[in-house]
Amino acid sequence: MQAYQQKAEVVSTEKVTGDIYRFTVKAPDIAADARPGQFVMVRAGDGLDPLLRRPFSIHQVAEGGLVQILFKVIGKGTQAIAGLQVGQHMDVLGPLGRGFVHNTMQEHYLVGGGIGVAPLLFLAKQLLKKNEPSAIRVLLGAGTKAEISTLADDFENMGLGVQVSTEDGSLGKPGLVTDLMVPLQNENKVMVYTCGPYPMLRAVAGVSSDKGWACQVSLETIMACGLGACLGCAVLRADMNGYVHVCKDGPVFDADDVAWL
Amino acid sequence: MALEEPDMKISIGSLRLRNPVMTASGTFGYGEEYGSLVNLHRLGAIIVKGISLLPRQGTPPPRIAETACGMLNAIGLENVGLERFLSEKLPFLQGISTPLIVNILGDTVQDYEQLAARLNEEEKVAALEVNISCPNVKQGGVAFGTDPGMAHAVTKGVRQHFSRPVIVKLSPNVTDISEIAGAVEEAGADAVSLINTVLGMAIDIESCRPKLANIFGGLSGPAIKPIGLRMVWQVAECVSIPVIGIGGITTPEDAIEYILAGACAVQVGTTNFINPKASEEIIQGIGAYLTEHSMASMQDLIGRARRV
Ligand SMILES: Cc1cc2nc3c(=O)[nH]c(=O)nc-3n(C[C@H](O)[C@H](O)[C@H](O)COP(=O)(O)OP(=O)(O)OC[C@H]3O[C@@H](n4cnc5c(N)ncnc54)[C@H](O)[C@@H]3O)c2cc1C
Ligand SMILES: Cc1cc2nc3c(=O)[nH]c(=O)nc-3n(C[C@H](O)[C@H](O)[C@H](O)COP(=O)(O)O)c2cc1C
Ligand code: FES
């Protein structure tokens, strides 16, 4: 697969809320080839510590060769990246991995948890090219209203129906994102696309399977190369016999193809 | 007027390399993974992920932990095995002009011999690098690399079944690396490469568990460069076969240090993950250094720091 290493100029930075940032960089080659669900590996500065690149989903691409990432500050890598100013450069490698497959399903449910909404915006845009907005449903879960309200607006502004759940009940339905899924009844063929923390993915995969809906999950593992070279990103196969590699075989998998531990 | 490209050719036994920079085993996949990011034709040699007779699944995740200026890995020598290497990976490498070096590993001397015999039939395989040192797998690896007798036996076995150069890759996790180097030289190795990863660990203080499922892993990256450099110096002191320096090389300056210490060539490992273009930058940087310091060839540089 074709990947590019680009010194991408930071063209805008946005503090979405608290510790969540949205950065736009100019990386024309990556923008041209990117598909929803793919990711980039970003170098956090020029130094040797932190050493490894950090993986981020491609949040959006835009005219003019722009690539956007939406990220949460976790440790020193994301902290360093959040400190970049407009006009500075970010060393970006991508687009990497296999993204979401969207086929001829009649309805599409986009299920995001917290920062896991990142790749779903790009996916929604792509889906809208071939589907009526009414065929796309967005279900978002988060801890609090602050974490999710701006992101929920982005989907609403695209004309999509959005339902939200928060653990503290400050927005939408109190509880987990799966609580939004359980009541849904649907006779049509449904594809669920989900990204978020592991326990949420497992629960979403479980509900989807109970309902007979197909489900694609975007997984996260620690990564060194992002290119299929180091074999560090192994995840157990569904048959428990050997591993798939998140950076190359994923990050998006059919929920039936991986073991849920 | 542009200066003429300096002569960067080196030899390892009968193997001639256009420059002294190779990619280290396990950090460059089977070459193809980096095909769109690196000019593969420009490299001194490509060393592929270690191959065993049969495929290996490797260790459970987490397999990686980042540490200060380095990383720990416990991949467990996951690889596609000899047959799939030959049918799925070799065809791509056959289209690359750069010499191919295949890294091999096994549980027994017979495993190594069988691998050597089969790979001897493939002309594209310019040399073998014998991994006797991987610290990740509970069986195999460790015993060969830490015992002079076993290291001698494996080297001799491979030597007898492979007609082109045999490079033996040494483990730093020993008390006296010179002793092992001497043993493999005596057994007929054409060169030694060092160092493999340094055994280490990391603990997550929130979960109160080791960060790697395997508990221990191999430390690599800039953090280990001083160890690699010291060991290259020691080994170059006691063997007369070529020494290939590995460990934490990220810049041309790092590579030049290794060459000054006595290495005739270097391997770039973990750095491939961070800057895929590093090997090409290092080739260019060594060339520029030779020119700037009016050195006619690599021979002027190799081991220069040791000359009195
Ligand atoms: C395919 C993929 C897509 C991702 N997309 C996004 C995204 O769009 N937005 C976002 O905010 N985060 C995303 N993540 C998670 C993000 O990579 C981590 O939050 C980030 O690497 C943390 O780095 P740090 O230095 O701040 O944290 P530290 O904890 O200091 O990092 C230490 C090491 O652990 C790794 N690490 C820590 N958390 C994770 C994690 N959850 N997943 C993988 N590696 C981790 C780091 O890369 C680093 O190697 C994604 C991860 C993957 C694998
Ligand atoms: C992820 C990873 C996998 C590796 N796999 C192998 C291997 O299969 N065989 C081998 O001989 N060395 C292997 N190594 C060791 C490297 O080739 C090299 O000796 C070591 O990483 C030190 O160099 P560096 O600091 O430049 O990475 C591996 C290293 C890493 C980081
Ligand atoms: S991160 Fe290196 S193989 Fe997936």
CA A152 distance to own-chain centroid: 14
A121 and A49 belong to one structural domain:
no
**Domain-ending residue, one of A45, A72, A94:** A94
Burial class (CB in 10 A: 0-12, 13-18, 19+), B157: buried
A136 and A68 belong to one structural domain:
no
pLDDT in the model for residue B4? 62
A85 and A129 belong to one structural domain:
no
A48 and A127 belong to one structural domain:
no
Q: Give a three-class secondary structure readout of chain B.
A: CCCCCCECCEEECCEEECCCEEECCCCCCCCHHHCCCCCHHHCCEEEEEEECCCCECCCCCCCEEEECCEEEECCCCCECHHHHHHHHHHHHHHCCCCCEEEEECCCCHHHHHHHHHHHHCCCCEEEEEEECCCCCCCCCCHHHHHCHHHHHHHHHHHHHHCCCCEEEECCCCCCCHHHHHHHHHHCCCCEEEECCCEEECCEECCCCEECCCCCCEEEECHHHHHHHHHHHHHHHHHCCCCEEEECCCCCHHHHHHHHHHCCCEEEECCHHHHCCCHHHHHHHHHHHHHHHCCCCEHHHCCCHHHCC
Contact A93 B26 (CB under 8 A): no
**CB environment A95-111: b (16+ within 10 A), e (fewer):** bbbbbbebeebebbbbb
Q: Which of B22, B23, B27, B267 to mutate to test the pocket of ligand 2 (most atoms within 8 A of CB)?
A: B27
pLDDT in the model for residue B246? 98
> Is B208 assigned a catalytic role?
no
Q: Are B268 and B249 in contact (CB under 8 A)?
A: yes
Domain that holds residue A82: 4-94
A60 and A89 belong to one structural domain:
yes
pLDDT in the model for residue A16? 92
Does some domain include residue A205?
yes
Contact B78 A230 (CB under 8 A): no
Q: Is the pTM of this model over 0.90?
A: yes
Contact B274 A51 (CB under 8 A): yes
- List, in order of start, the domains of chain B with CATH numbers: 10-307 (3.20.20.70)
**Domain-ending residue, one of A62, A94, A126:** A94
Instruction: Kindly state whether B57 is in contact with chain A, defined as any CB-CB distance less than 8 angstroms.
Output: yes
Instruction: Kindly state whether A105 is in contact with chain B, defined as any CB-CB distance less than 8 angstroms.
Output: no
**CB environment A168-205: b (16+ within 10 A), e (fewer):** eebbbbeebbbbbbeeeeeeeebbbbbbbeeebbebbb
Instruction: Kindly state whether A28 is in contact with chain B, defined as any CB-CB distance less than 8 angstroms.
Output: no
- The alpha-carbon gap from B88 to the nearest alpha carbon of chain A, in Å, equals 15
Cis status, amide bond into A55, omega within 30 of 0: no
Q: Are A250 and A228 in contact (CB under 8 A)?
A: no
What's the pLDDT tens digit per position in B245-298? 999 999 999 999 999 999 999 999 999 999 999 999 999 999 999 999 999 999
C-alpha angle B162-B166-B171 in degrees, rounded to nearest 5 = 135
Task: Identify any residues that bridge with B234 across adjacent strands, giving them in sequence order.
Answer: none
C-alpha angle A40-A42-A43 in degrees, rounded to nearest 5 = 155
Q: Is the minimum distance from the CB of A220 to ligand 1 under 6 angstroms?
A: yes
Tokens of A38: 């793919």
One-letter amino acid at A78 equals T
CATH assignment of the domain containing A201:
3.40.50.80
Per-residue pLDDT 10s for chain A (261 aa) are 799 999 999 999 999 988 999 999 999 999 999 999 999 999 998 899 999 999 999 999 999 999 999 999 999 999 999 999 999 999 999 999 999 997 767 899 999 999 999 999 999 999 999 899 999 999 999 999 998 999 999 999 999 999 999 999 999 999 999 999 999 887 788 999 999 999 999 999 999 999 999 999 999 999 999 999 999 999 999 999 999 999 999 999 999 999 998
Residue nearest to atom 23 of ligand 2 (CA): B247
A66 and A22 belong to one structural domain:
yes
Q: Are B178 and B237 in contact (CB under 8 A)?
A: yes
CA atoms within 13 A of residue B201's CA, in its CB half-sphere: 12
Q: Is the minimum distance from the CB of B33 to ligand 1 under 6 angstroms?
A: no
CATH assignment of the domain containing A18:
2.40.30.10
Mean pLDDT calculated for residue range B1-7: 65
What domain count does chain A have?
2
What's the pLDDT tens digit per position in B132-186? 974 434 344 456 889 899 999 999 999 999 999 999 999 999 999 999 999 999 9
> Which atom of ligand 1 has the smallest separation from the CA of A74?
26
Q: Is the minimum distance from the CB of A51 to ligand 1 under 6 angstroms?
A: no
Does some domain include residue A237?
no
Interface of A with B in 41-80 (CB under 8 A): 43, 48-53
A83 and A111 belong to one structural domain:
no
ipTM computed for the complex = 0.94
pLDDT in the model for residue B34? 97
- φ and ψ at residue B168, rounded to 5 degrees: -105, 125
Q: Which residues line ligand 2 (CB under 6 A)?
A: A 230, 232; B 24-27, 49-50, 73, 75, 77, 103, 131, 134, 169, 196-197, 220-221, 224, 246-249, 269-271
Question: Nearest-CA neighbor of A68 among A36, A114, A45, A102?
Answer: A36
A121 and A209 belong to one structural domain:
yes
**Domain-ending residue, one of A66, A94, A122:** A94
pLDDT in the model for residue A187? 76
What's the pLDDT tens digit per position in B87-101? 999 999 999 999 999
pLDDT in the model for residue A105? 72
Q: Which residues line ligand 3 (CB under 6 A)?
A: A 223-226, 228-233, 245, 247-248
A202 and A124 belong to one structural domain:
yes
Separation between Cα atoms, residue A206 and residue A193, nearest integer Å: 13
C-alpha angle A18-A179-A158 in degrees, rounded to nearest 5 = 60
A41 and A144 belong to one structural domain:
no
Q: Which of B25, B30, B115, B212 to mutate to test the pocket of ligand 2 (most atoms within 8 A of CB)?
A: B25
pLDDT in the model for residue B142? 57
Contact A231 B65 (CB under 8 A): no
Tokens of B246: 């590995």
pLDDT in the model for residue B141? 46
A76 and A120 belong to one structural domain:
no
Instruction: Kindly state whether B213 is in contact with chain A, defined as any CB-CB distance less than 8 angstroms.
Output: no
Chain B interface mutation, best of A33, A52, A245, highest count of B Cβ atoms under 10 Å? A52
pLDDT in the model for residue A3? 96
Does some domain include residue A88?
yes
- The share of chain B scoring above pLDDT 90, in percent, equals 91
Q: How confident is the model at residue B5 (pLDDT cuts 50, 70, 90)?
A: confident
